[in-house]
């Protein structure tokens, strides 16, 4: 099975309409949770799913951002990522 086609430089008759269609961004993340050593270096061991499960988490997460157009979807995605970065 092949992945999705990349639309960076594709020109078609409905190109103008494609950007006006509703869009969805699917974000997939992987978490590495480690202990910090007294010298601020990271421990070699990463918490696995079993250890994270007691906190109701796993090592992976996925979320979606939807927009009524291409521009709206990208705008909402950027806002979501900025909120995550700034806490």
Q: What is the pLDDT of residues 47-79, one digit of tens each?
A: 999 999 999 999 999 999 999 999 999 999 999
How many structural domains is the chain composed of? 1
CA dihedral (51, 54, 56, 58) in degrees, to 10, reads 10
| Closest residue by Cα to residue 81 from 23, 15, 18, 29 | 29
Q: Quick check: is 1 in a domain?
A: no
Q: Is residue 5 part of a domain?
A: no
Choose the weakest-confidence range: 6-10, 31-35, 62-66.
Answer: 6-10
Within-domain flag for 8: no
Residue 50 lies in domain: 18-86
Cα distances (angstroms) measured from residue 36 to each of 42, 45, 47: 5, 10, 12
pLDDT at residue number 44: 95
Residue 2 counted as domain residue: no
In a domain, 43, yes or no: yes
Please check whether residue 22 lies inside any domain of the structure: yes
62 lies in some domain: yes
Whether residue 31 is contained in a domain is answered as yes
Q: What is the pLDDT of residue 86?
A: 87
CB 22 within 8 A of CB 68: yes
| Nearest Cα to Cα of residue 66 among 80, 51, 53 | 80
The pLDDT assigned to 24 comes to 97
């Amino acid at each position: 099975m092949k992945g999705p086609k990349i639309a960076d430089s594709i020109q078609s008759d409905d190109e103008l309409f494609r950007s006006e269609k509703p869009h969805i961004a699917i974000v997939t993340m992987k978490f590495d949770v480690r202990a910090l050593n007294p010298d601020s270096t990271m421990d070699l061991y990463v918490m696995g799913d079993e250890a994270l499960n007691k906190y109701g988490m796993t090592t992976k997460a996925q979320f979606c951002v939807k927009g009524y157009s291409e521009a709206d979807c990208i705008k909402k995605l950027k806002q979501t990522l900025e909120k995550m970065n700034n806490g």
